[in-house]
Amino acid sequence: MSEEESRAANGPDWDRYSDEYQATHGDFLGDAGFVWGPEGLTEETARALGPIDGRRVLEIGSGAGQCSRWVTTQGGRGFGLDLSHRQLQHSRRIDEATGVRVPSVRGTATALPFADASFDVVFCAFGAMQFVAELDVALAEVARVLRRPGRFSFSITHPSRWVFPDDPGPAGLTASQPYWDRRAYVEVDPDTDQVTYVEHHRTLGDWVRVLAETGFVLSDLIEPEWPEGHDRVWGGWSRLRGQIMPGTALFIAELS
């Protein structure tokens, strides 16, 4: 799946899914809340962005801007970018409702419409990174818009999950697919044969390698544990699986 094919599928897919996504997960995310993934690890706890007070912070794959709104309430200047027009409409809706505004733009991670060295911190919370085919191009774009020293923190589905069916129940505990199979996960509309969703898989080694090749130094890789008393099911994430294996990988990468 090429970059163009991935984008052509995922933009409309997020437009279609956005209302349901916000209705289902909006309360958990919080209008101005920052969680890194379904385990509910907050940025207040993780401190994966480093200092944000007075800094310009870009979120790629910002959705309805919940995380960036939190950044702004903490003294940072949060900005959003997302591929989906409908997600950005939700972002505007919450801006109006809360009075905390996140200037946001429609665009793609592989062609950021910003000047060189215009942000102090860039992040993605399950945003675009696993949806792009050309990860090297996306990381080069992040490096271009970051000032030095700069930080890029991003969460993705933990690569080890690739080997299991995306099922929150017992079926999701039996490995069935090779970890090294990098062919994208693709959904196709059976009526039109059109590709409607694309997600790309890289091994942990692939992630480290492409970060290093772009000049980043990895300072941490956080694998949030499933918290006591947390019973929420989100897609393939559940207490059953979360107590056994990691579901989220949160990378912290530095540029000097």
Residues sharing a CB contact under 8 Å with residue 235, sequence separation 6 or more, in sequence order: 38, 166, 168
Helix or strand (DSSP H, E) at 22: helix 3-29
Q: At what angle do helices 66-73 and 85-98 cross, to 10 degrees?
A: 30
Out of 46, 83, 112, 142, point to the residue binding ligand SAM (CB under 6 A).
83
Report in angstroms how near the CB of residue 66 gets to ligand SAM at its nearest.
6
Q: Interface mask (CB under 6 A) for ligand SAM, residues 93-122, using x and -? A: ---------------xx-------------
Is 69 one of the binding residues for ligand SAM (CB under 6 A)?
Answer: no
**Separation of alpha carbons 228 and 68, rounded Å:** 27
In terms of Cα–Cα distance, which of 231, 233, 149, 236 is closest to 185? 236
Is 82 one of the binding residues for ligand SAM (CB under 6 A)?
Answer: yes
In terms of Cα–Cα distance, which of 9, 21, 14, 4 is closest to 186? 9
Q: Interface mask (CB under 6 A) for ligand SAM, residues 32-61, using x and -? A: ----------------------------xx
Out of 57, 71, 112, 125, point to the residue binding ligand SAM (CB under 6 A).
125
If the CB atoms of residues 175 and 184 are measured against ligand SAM, the closer one turns out to be 184
Is 154 in contact with 251 (CB distance < 8 Å)?
A: yes
Is 68 one of the binding residues for ligand SAM (CB under 6 A)?
Answer: no
DSSP tag of 40: -
The residues of the shown chain that bind ligand SAM, judged by CB under 6 A, are 7, 10, 14, 29, 60-63, 67, 81-84, 87, 108-109, 125-128, 131-132
